[in-house]
Amino acid sequence: MSRKQPSNLLSDLKVERVEKYARMLHRSIRLNLDEVDFFTREDLLQLPVFMHITTITRYHYICLATQVLLTKGDIVSKTRTGLCLPRHARSISDTPLAEQYAVTIQKLVERSSPKKAFGVMDIVDAWTTDPHLTINNKRVAVRGSMNRLIKQGIVKLVNEFEYKVVSPSQ
């Protein structure tokens, strides 16, 4: 019976560990993100499966596990950052989210009080429709819409992180 060199044992252990992380992540994706059209690594960071691990280590584990899942075909890469389960692969549009949901976002923004500044996450928190989008998807869509809304004169930038609805008299 041949013995493996210690360095090979370590490599095998790492591969086994990464495959275990991939199985855990895949199970968590199916439980928590099964109904969403697509998700990002940012969304995967929010899954409870690795929440007990520090952020940088959690991100490292997720990147390794994601690569295994992509290789096995358990998830599909649709864009540079967008991932999805194989059954959702055809439903993803090439149109940016900010354009797809421009009307919804504008309505949510216009509901804000002109007297009070709001942030992107205030709009995301008010966005209760479209359960097929993750919070991160909605955040990206809202952030992508704000420059257009500023140019249209619907909102103005108060500071680096806050906006205000422009009242008709302004």
| pLDDT over threshold 60, residue 5 | no
The pTM is what? 0.69
- How far is 100 from 106, CA to CA, in rounded Å? 12
Residue 140: both structure tokens together: 């990206």
Q: Buried b vs exposed e over 32-69: b needs ≥16 C-beta within 10 Å?
A: bbeebbbbbebbbeebebbeeeeeeebbebbebbbebb
- How far is 77 from 81, CA to CA, in rounded Å? 8
For every residue of 6-27, DSSP letters joined together read: HHHHHHHHHHHHHHHHHHHHHH
In tens, the pLDDT along 34-79 reads 988 889 999 999 999 999 999 898 998 999 999 999 999 999 998 8
In tens, the pLDDT along 7-46 reads 444 455 488 899 999 999 999 999 999 988 889 999 999 9
Domains and CATH numbers, the chain: 6-91 (1.10.10.10), 97-165 (1.10.10)
Residue 45: both structure tokens together: 């960071």
- How far is 68 from 59, CA to CA, in rounded Å? 14
